[in-house]
Structure 1
């Protein structure tokens, strides 16, 4: 296995290559405004560090968010392009699940990333592999009672310490963790949702490679066009 993972759903532009046992190479650059410029050079450097070409890749995984429209689409479109060129399916994974897996926590916690507009994308977890709620977007103050007393992972937790006083690492997404989670899911039997989902919880698993926005984009088609009549 040579699994290439990319994620641009957060300010971190992150790439990793995994051989099914360990991460061979990884790179992350936190820059919310340069996803399109940074991703492909990062892929080139990761492949070069591992000493392989793109056509040696056997599996493709992409973080599908939740995240802002502009950044999120860069990683997904790039992964889909690679998939088309290589004749490989592209598997999606929740960006929040990647952060949760990277935390390594074995007790209940929250993952919160920055959704801008004074909001966070978030979900609750029983442990690093068991998500208890579907990803959502809310104002931090509205979550105070729900997350009270729980450790929190991610940049959203760091931004709002009054709601998430026990903020822990990692702050930013890592494709190395996303790739490791994907490898673990494949080893478990293909990554189909299961486990805690059978008890009513949405266990982390592979998703379609489609962007998870959770809210409408800022730019929208006008509902009413101005009528211009000839003079």
Structure 2
């Protein structure tokens, strides 16, 4: 079973192809995992499709070989998040394979492998963070939320993610950006019946209104 995973909810575009054989285990076949220095939230549209094609080619796989798609659903900025979700749903419909959503904060938490409480925080811009508290890498303690750094309930806990590097200094720990390999591992763990965060519908987790708004009604012009 081949699972294609990708996430565009942060500044990074990250893609991985994971092979899972029920009863035998799983392994990453190929991945494109940019560093924080290479991330550019303005290029999600132009980077995602070539990244998927490159990962598939590196693994010697064709689209028809896919058994499932896993995609990060955020929270994240509207534009970048939409790129990943629209691509995942379009591929799922075209290939007739299921599409599973995964909370991007859960992906970062999963990658830590931590057994003690911590916080995950990603950059929400506007001097705010998307964040959630975790009891362990596999158990989220609070719902994802958005707000200023002062409202993050860290209370001396380690803080993981790009938002931690921006606002929490010595409390900041890696990883900074979500890994598609970790996303695929989480999805496979849930599909195989192991414990971990729930899989979600492939719908965006915005937490706040998009910056773009529909124009209001035109003002009436009073004749002079």
Q: Would you call these one fold, judging by a TM-score over 0.5?
A: yes
Over residues 188-230 of structure 1, what are the superposed CA-to-partner deviations in whole Å (9 max), with x where a residue is unaligned? 16xxxxx6xxxxxxx6111110111100111212445311357
2:209 to 200, 211, 216: 216
Residue ranges of structure 2 left out of the alignment (5+ in a row): 21-25
Partner of 2:219: 226
Pairwise CA distance, 1:161: 2.1
SS at match of 1:19: strand
Please tell me whether residue 51 in structure 1 is matched to residue 95 in structure 2. no
Partner of 1:199: none
Size of the aligned set, in residue pairs, is 215
Residue ranges of structure 1 left out of the alignment (5+ in a row): 190-194, 196-202
1:187 to 186, 189, 192: 192
> Aligned ranges for residues 75-114 of structure 1 at < 5 Å?
75-114=84-123
Partner of 1:116: 125
> Aligned ranges for residues 20-59 of structure 1 at < 5 Å?
20=20, 21-29=26-34, 30-59=39-68
Please tell me whether residue 14 in structure 1 is matched to residue 7 in structure 2. no
Would the aligned equivalents of 2:67 and 2:98 in 1 still touch at CA under 8 Å? Answer: no
List structure 1 runs of 4+ shifted beyond 4 angstroms. Answer: none
Partner of 1:131: 140
